[in-house]
């Protein structure tokens, strides 16, 4: 618990508008829930943006309460894609803040799709053996995003497709370029970085390299180096082999932050 209190005290000492706090990941400070999933709070220019919501509401509530974070004071919520380990905690968000806008990728099928056909297919899928679908709160204020767009001053969403689905990353204007947060980077981490359209000085989140081969990982790392990414903070689905490759390639500009820790934005 001492470690957790130290992290909370450190977070409170940082400028409130210039940091990312990891709320959920596979590793966490003592006293915080951890597991497969991702969530982070972005405090930026006086705004508070929740990026992904982890796998369950109780775990998100446990961690935000321990870190002194009020889900009722969010200015926006961004869900990177419709895998439940990234949106499963939305029930807790909705309970605390029913009016907050939740930006989700617009696609024809999935947890956030609205067509009757999609709903019918989802019911059918949920009735199959060993299928457990997680439905987000139906009454929440969803904004379905079909292309890149600005959601707040200095805050953009960029999207890429993978198969029949879409994933969006959060892009923040910072000194020297942009900072980017990714949920899983299913479309390819280098592809998402390129879509930022600016120098990515900080990259964090899931890079989707857990199941990639060593040659695929090396290729992805080389692509990120060629793109000039400034610093990297891999998380979630990046994988141990890829994380080590990134550490070697970035050296002092590599970092890892468990749930409860923070990443400063800017200088």
Q: Give residue-wise pLDDT tens across range 12-33.
A: 444 465 899 999 999 999 999 9
Q: What is the mean pLDDT of residues 142-153?
A: 97
CA pair distance 108, 152, nearest whole angstrom? 26
Task: Decide if 207 contacts 187 (C-beta within 8 A).
Answer: no
CA pair distance 2, 30, nearest whole angstrom? 8
For residue 2, is pLDDT > 70? no
Q: What angle do CA 176, 204, 207 make, to 5 degrees?
A: 125
pLDDT recorded at residue 5? 35
Q: pLDDT-derived band of residue 133, with 50, 70 and 90 as boundaries?
A: confident
Q: What percent of the chain has pLDDT over 70?
A: 88
For residue 191, is pLDDT > 50? yes
Q: What is the mean pLDDT of residues 70-86?
A: 97
User: In sequence order, what DSSP letters do the residues of the chain get, joined into one string?
Assistant: -HHHHHHHHHHHHS-TTEEEEEEE-SSB-TTS--SS--EEEEEETTEEEEEEE-S-HHHHHHHHHHTT--GGG-SEEE--SS-HHHHTTHHHHHHH-TTSEEEEE--SSSTT---HHHHHHHHHHHTSTT----PPPTTSEEEEE-S-EEEETTEEEEEEEETTEEEEEEEEEETTEEEEEES--TT-HHHHHHHT-S-EEEEEEE---TT--HHHHHHHHHHHHHTT--EEEEEGGG-HHHHHHHHHHHGGGB----BT-EEE---
Q: Which residues pair with 118 in a beta bridge?
A: none
The whole-model pTM stands at 0.91
CA pair distance 96, 81, nearest whole angstrom? 22
Q: pLDDT-derived band of residue 129, with 50, 70 and 90 as boundaries?
A: confident
Q: What angle do CA 42, 45, 46 make, to 5 degrees?
A: 80
pLDDT recorded at residue 3? 43
For residue 4, is pLDDT > 60? no
Q: Give residue-wise pLDDT tens across range 88-122.
A: 999 999 999 999 999 999 998 888 987 776 676 77
Q: Give residue-wise pLDDT tens across range 225-234.
A: 999 999 999 9
CA pair distance 158, 194, nearest whole angstrom? 10
* Residue 10: C-alpha distances to residues 3, 15, 95, 166, 267 (Å): 10, 10, 28, 36, 16
């Amino acid at each position: 618990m001492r470690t957790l209190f130290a992290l909370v005290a450190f977070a409170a000492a940082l400028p409130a508008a210039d940091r990312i706090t990891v709320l959920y990941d596979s590793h966490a400070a003592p006293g915080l829930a951890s597991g497969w999933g991702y969530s982070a709070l972005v405090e930026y220019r006086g705004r508070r943006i929740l990026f992904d919501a982890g796998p369950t509401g109780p775990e998100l509530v446990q961690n935000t309460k321990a870190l002194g974070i009020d889900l009722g004071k969010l200015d926006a919520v961004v869900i990177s894609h419709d895998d439940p380990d990234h949106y499963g905690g939305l029930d807790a968000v909705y309970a605390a803040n029913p009016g907050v806008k939740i930006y989700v990728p617009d696609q024809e099928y999935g947890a956030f799709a609205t067509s009757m056909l999609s709903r019918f297919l989802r019911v059918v899928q949920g009735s199959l053996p060993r299928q457990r679908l997680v439905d987000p709160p139906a009454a929440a204020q969803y904004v379905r995003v079909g292309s890149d767009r600005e959601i707040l001053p200095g805050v953009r969403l960029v999207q890429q497709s993978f198969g029949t689905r879409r994933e969006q990353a959060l892009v923040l204007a910072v000194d020297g370029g942009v900072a980017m947060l990714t949920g899983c980077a299913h479309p390819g981490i280098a592809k998402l970085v390129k879509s930022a359209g600016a120098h990515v000085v900080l990259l964090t989140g899931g890079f989707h390299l857990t199941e990639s081969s060593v040659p695929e990982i090396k290729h992805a790392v080389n692509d990120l180096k060629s793109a000039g990414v400034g610093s990297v903070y891999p998380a979630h689905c990046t994988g141990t082999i890829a994380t080590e490759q990134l550490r070697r390639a970035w050296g002092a500009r590599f970092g890892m932050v468990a749930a409860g820790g923070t990443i400063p934005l800017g200088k």
